[in-house]
Amino acid sequence: MSGVLFSGGRLIDPALGHDGPADVLVRDGRVAGVGQGLDAAGAEVIDCAGLVVTPGFVDLHVHLREPGREDAETIETGSRAAALGGFTAVCPMPNTDPPADNAGVVEMVAARGREVGLVDLFPVGAVTVARQGTALAELGAMARSAAAVDTFSDDGSPIREAKLLRRALEYARAFDAVIADHCEDVTLTGGAQMHEGELSGLLGLRGWPAAAEDMIVARDLLLAELTGGRLHLCHLSTAGAVELVRSAKARGVRVTAEVTPHHLSLTDQALADYDPVFKVNPPLRGKADVEALRAGLADGTIDAIATDHAPHAREAKEVELAQAPPGMLGLETALAVVLTDLVEEGWLTMAQAVERLTAGPARCRRVPGHGGPVEAGAPANLTVFDPSAPWTVRPEALASRSRNTPFAGRELRGRVVHTMLRGNFSVRDGAIGRLIDVREGASR
């Protein structure tokens, strides 16, 4: 009888509250057993001594650029990056061309993900037609489609009209869907290049004030409370936003929130040399904001770590700061940044870090079969990583089609060894089989 036994590892399964030694046996695409001394007859035994075994990671917020911007990323290259980062499920955002505001586009994205077969794609549909903020998109049709969309966002384009957001929250309640908002008052951020603070003044750059985020977070929370709808807040970046969410959760508001690895590890000081790779929306904030985000992640105010993986072609980023689009790569470095900057520095335990990458995001939207638990009968969607393995981030070695990582040249600790999707290795021994460099047409 064939199968795989992950032997001698530390199993962290937040969904079941397990953190300790355990073997995991996989047969026929599912977990066949969890424990010690399992009968591995006929199974390949993989030694996981010194390694951590977890449910596959879930990313609520990625930009795979297909359709429309395949020069920056494709579903295939983005899926490779995700698998190498330990992710078995990712949620592509709808700011494609054409936008994912109808059943046809979201079904195409989901189908292309199945063709590639490295990660499961759970598309996010647009809230409004063409993400223009004037009329609701076909939310019901996308929810009933083969893609079964249950989360909607105009990400990058905040829902400006409170009345429209209220209608979306009320309508989405009919199928228990989530409205995810990018919180930005654009009347305060026009022409902004970075966080508004002392450094923006010294550099002579127009700033993006924290109040522009906090005001919309407060509005959205009030509307979620009014409607009883499910609200998700994308990529929080300010101390004020964290406190607003903390208070709303205490009142019973149905809200979840995410934070990116770059907002947890970098500050606005990274822009001191005007390097466009560090331009992102929302912008990198000050040290006090970073610490508030870390504390909010630790105490559960923030539910999930989401990469906001935003690839851009080299020529788009290698321009003056004002002309460069915002966005950073994140899929392949997420785990290592969290382990290096949060776990090693004592902000999170290892178990908390895993929870915010697995069960936490799985609470925010429906991702069947992902996020745990790791138990007999469950799909074998698993990640195995070495928590202490050092490696240096080299943009040219990343699987993404783009190179705009803010961590280039930095040594991090923590590397994915294996990723398994429904019992098949999408990553084995740190590499994807048959990995073809689509930029040069050569095997890697």
Calpha distance 87→358 (Å, rounded): 9
Q: Is residue 437 flagged as an active site residue?
A: no
In this structure, which amino acid lies at residue 81?
A: A
Q: How many CB atoms lie within 10 A of CB 104?
A: 15
Structure tokens, 225 = 């409370």
Q: Residues, the chain, total? A: 444
- Continuous H helices in 300-435: 314-317, 334-338, 350-357, 359-364
Handedness of CA 149, 151, 156, 159 (dihedral sign): positive
| Phi and psi, residue 110, nearest 5° | -65, -40
Q: Which of 120, 308, 341, 386 is catalytic?
A: 308
Are the beta carbons of 279 and 193 closer than 8 angstroms? yes
Are the beta carbons of 367 and 58 closer than 8 angstroms? yes
Handedness of CA 216, 122, 90, 365 (dihedral sign): positive
Radius of gyration of the chain (CA): 21
Structure tokens, 203 = 């550099």
Calpha distance 2→43 (Å, rounded): 5
Q: In 3D, which of 164, 167, 169 has the Cα closest to residue 180?
A: 169
Calpha distance 261→332 (Å, rounded): 11
Calpha distance 237→316 (Å, rounded): 24
The residue whose two tokens read 């698993």 is 382
Calpha distance 429→436 (Å, rounded): 17
Give, as one character, the DSSP assignment of residue 79: H
Q: Which residues touch 433 (CB under 8 Å, ≥6 apart)?
A: 425
Calpha distance 343→410 (Å, rounded): 17
Q: Which residues touch 394 (CB under 8 Å, ≥6 apart)?
A: 408, 409
Q: Which residues touch 441 (CB under 8 Å, ≥6 apart)?
A: none
Residues involved in catalysis: 308
